[in-house]
Structure 1
Amino acid sequence: MSKWRDQAIALAGIFQASMLVERLAKTGSAPDEQLQTAVYSLFQVNPERVGDVFDGTDKLLPGLRVSRQLLRTRQHPEYTDCLRYALSILYLQRQLAKKPDLLAIIGSRLEKAQVQAEHFSLTHENVFSNLASIYTDTLSTFRFRIQVLGDFNFLQQQRIANQIRTMLFAGVRAATLWRQLGGSRLHLIFQRKKLLAATEQVIAELEQANM
């Protein structure tokens, strides 16, 4: 069960990042603690447990709930864009995995960004700007680009655009974790019940702990 549990947590990380992309694009804002979790995950290189990537599985409760909904129904009108971003992130991560040179650039630039984040804070404007530039210089160079839909007034603001790119970047980080744990798109089709059961169990444990 722990294999499915770990995959369920990583998948929730992808959905949570995707949800934040959608929210920022459509409303111009997102909960600071969720943005913080996403940025934190980008700097985790050798975590002991899967939940440690996100500074605790409890930080992924919003993503776990979206994951549960989509694993139950495969589609849900409320999460159409979120699902599209998640599938796009999985595809982009697969392309990145074939480019060791880009992975090396990302690794060294993230080290410098982490020093900056320690100096300012995880959700400081300068940190978002730096992380967005890493995304632009690496992941945005692929022929496949993720199309973000939302309110033009928000999308054209540099601060919000930087946050959106950072959330896409965090989604790719979660997708990398998902692949490392043996996750694949086929699992989303053929192992849905196992992933759903693991997701529901994690949610139940977290809700019990919060009572």
Structure 2
Amino acid sequence: MAYTGKDRSIALAGVYQSVLCVRQIARQGSVDTDAMTPCIYSLFQTDADSVPEIFGAPGSVYAGAKELVGQLTGKQPREIELTRYVITLLKLERVLAGRSQLIRDIGADIDDARAKLDHFPMLHPNLLAHLADIYSRTISQLQPRVMVQGDPRFLQPPDNQNRIRALLLAGVRSAWLWRQVGGSRWQFLFGRKALLMAALDYLRLARQ
């Protein structure tokens, strides 16, 4: 299948949306569930017909695409913390790509988690705890580690820790998708205009 610049922008927007949700939980103790749901949803999509469908309904990664546009244009303040999260997740995906057995283990664990969808909604604490455990046993053991900054009052509650870890797992999944559709470090450095145009088009269509 031939992938497009729009596919790459959506995948990268998925990474940004995951870390936006992580930061919101870490700083405020709450999260926009409309933004978080597509991230978690993407973990269970293995046979979608198109890249947008991996995140659900049209416009599902609007928040991530908006942040991506802001960072590419410089119209938003440079978010060093956010950029660090994104870069770390992209690096982790590259490390994971070389661990075929670990990839199979994660896939099997997510299949086990999928069974919970018959009994719990997408953001139910039980399901998020299962996904968080997958992250803790696998990706969190790799280097570089994602060091989440925030208010200790919001970082310490177990439910918040589970939400953050589940979102980081989703962020790595989006980073994997970014590579699958042709994304690369060089693409990000030298194909920024194409990414920007595609992300702007995505936002325009989502607003219609």
Show CA shifts across 1:9-60 (max 9, x none).
1111010001111111111110112221111100000110101110023111
In structure 2, the residue matched to 1:32 is 33
Counterpart secondary structure, 2:60: helix
Partner of 1:15: 16
Higher helix share: 1
Query: Is the CA contact 2:3–2:181 (under 8 Å) kept in the aligned structure 1?
Result: no
Please state how far the C-alpha of 1:156 moved relative to its aligned partner.
1.1
Question: Counterpart of 1:158 in structure 2: which amino acid?
Answer: P
| Structure 1 contact 18–83 (Cα < 8 Å) conserved | no
Contact 2:18 2:170 (8 Å CA) reproduced: yes
Matches within 5 A, 1:36-75: 36-73=37-74
Amino acid at match of 2:7: D
Mean alpha-carbon deviation: is it higher for 125-134 or for 26-35? 26-35
Equivalent residue number for residue 131 of structure 1: 131
Q: 1:195 is matched by which residue type in structure 2?
A: L
Runs of 4+ residues over 6 Å off in structure 1: none
Asked whether the equivalents of residues 92 and 143 of structure 2 are also in contact (C-alpha less than 8 Å), the reply is: no
1:72-104 per-position Cα deviation (integer Å, ceiling 9, x unaligned): 129734x32221111111001110111011101
Deviation (angstroms), 1:143: 3.2
CA distance in 1, matches of 2:180, 2:77: 28
CA distance in structure 2 between the aligned counterparts of 1:75 and 1:87, rounded to whole angstroms: 18
Give me the whole-angstrom Cα distance separating, in 2, the residues matched to 1:144 and 1:60.
26
- Check conservation: 1:9, 1:57, Cα contact below 8 A: no
Which one-letter code corresponds to 2:25 in the other structure? L
- Superposed, 1:1-211 pairs within 5 Å as 3-73=4-74, 76-77=77-78, 79-207=79-207, 209=208
- How many positions carry a matched residue from both structures? 207
One-letter code of the match for 1:49? S
Alpha-carbon distance in 2 for matches of 1:66, 1:158: 28
Contact conserved, 2:59 with 2:202, CA < 8 A, in 1?
A: no
Residue identity matched to 2:120: F
Which shifted more, 65-74 or 101-110? 65-74
Structure 1 residue 117: deviation in Å? 2.3
Please give the TM-score of this superposition, normalised by the length of structure 2. Answer: 0.95
Tell me, yes or no, if the aligned pair for 2:8 and 2:178 is still in contact at 8 Å: yes
Q: CA RMSD in A?
A: 1.5
Aligned-partner Cα distance in 2 for 1:143–1:48: 33
Determine the C-alpha separation between the residues in 1 that align with 2:185 and 2:26.
26
With structure 1 as the length reference, what TM-score do the two structures score? Answer: 0.94
- Counterpart of 1:174, as a letter, is S
Q: 1:57 to 1:185 in 2, by over 3 A?
A: farther
Any stretches of 5+ residues in structure 1 without a counterpart?
A: none
Contact 2:3 2:182 in 1 (8 A): no
Distance change >3 Å, CA 149–CA 62, structure 1 → 2: same
Letter in structure 1 aligned against 2:55: F
Output the amino acid matched with 1:47.
Answer: A
Q: What one-letter code is carried by the residue in structure 1 that aligns with 2:89?
A: I
